[in-house]
């Protein structure tokens, strides 16, 4: 095995020792169960690790990550995570966290083919088409890219609100709020995009389900 691989396992042992020296019951306490207040839907990008960015300890964040932090309503993986988080864990906040410089979003701005992933990226292309006027009017390419990252996050937050899972939760009086963030890989700073959805009336009528 190479050095990197061995080092990962060694790092784990070191971390366990460190944690136990701070609190001998650290892991036995965690083993009792989880009650995270937050569901994080983020990009798979290695530079955007959910817990580290918000300095959250184990047990605080329920995490789902995929390429370009997408909420695709036929994605059983995403739906299962969302359903469990909302209906079993009763989490209070869902954050969709995108990031500037996102390769998935960048791919959607261009026409190059990357293979199978083109089919995933196409969901992001649909967002571009929806906001083509605003985006095409931004002359600076970097600025356009940054804005597209933000718009994509906002659309994913709305896509969460459109799910039967979230609308059911609101109907049942659950205190559930959806948010959108954009993370700066080059600054470490999270920008709150101020898209906070907490009830059905914030949705276009087309998507409001009578439950």
Name the residues annotated as catalytic. 43, 45, 47, 99, 102
CB of 47 to Co ion, least distance (A): 8
Nearest-CA neighbor of 147 among 185, 100, 179, 107?
Answer: 100
146 makes contact with Co ion (CB under 5 A): no
| Element housing 40 (H / E) | strand 38-43
Question: 99, 185 in Cβ contact below 8 A?
Answer: yes
Interface region with Co ion, contact rule CB under 5 A, candidates 31-39, 45-53, 122-130, 180-188: 45-53
CB of 169 to Co ion, least distance (A): 27
Among 38, 39, 41, 43, binds Co ion (CB under 5 A): 43
Contacts to Co ion from residues 100-139, by CB under 5 A: 102
CB of 100 to Co ion, least distance (A): 9
Nearest-CA neighbor of 79 among 162, 177, 202, 172?
Answer: 162
45 makes contact with Co ion (CB under 5 A): yes
Give strand pairing partners of 66: 43
CA angle 45, 141, 190 (to 5 degrees): 40
97 makes contact with Co ion (CB under 5 A): no
Which residues sit at the interface with Co ion, rule CB under 5 A? 43, 45, 102
């Amino acid at each position: 095995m190479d050095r990197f691989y061995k080092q990962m396992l060694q790092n784990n042992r070191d971390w366990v020792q460190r944690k136990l020296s701070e609190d001998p019951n650290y892991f036995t306490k965690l083993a009792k169960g989880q009650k995270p207040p937050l569901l994080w839907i983020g990009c798979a990008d290695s530079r955007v690790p959910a817990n580290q960015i918000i300095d959250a300890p184990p047990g605080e964040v329920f995490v789902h990550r995929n390429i370009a932090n997408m909420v695709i309503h036929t994605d059983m993986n995403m739906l299962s995570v969302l359903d469990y988080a909302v209906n079993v864990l009763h989490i209070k906040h869902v954050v969709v966290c995108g990031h500037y410089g996102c390769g998935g979003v960048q791919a959607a701005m261009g026409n190059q083919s990357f293979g199978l992933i083109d089919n995933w990226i196409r969901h992001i292309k649909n967002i571009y088409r929806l906001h083509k006027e605003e985006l095409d009017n931004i002359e600076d390419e970097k600025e356009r890219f940054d804005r597209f990252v933000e718009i994509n996050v906002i659309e994913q937050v709305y896509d969460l609100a459109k799910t039967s899972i979230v609308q059911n939760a609101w109907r049942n009086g659950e205190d559930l709020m959806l948010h959108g963030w954009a993370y700066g890989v080059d600054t470490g700073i999270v920008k709150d995009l101020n898209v906070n959805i907490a009830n059905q009336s914030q949705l276009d009528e087309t998507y409001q389900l009578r439950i």
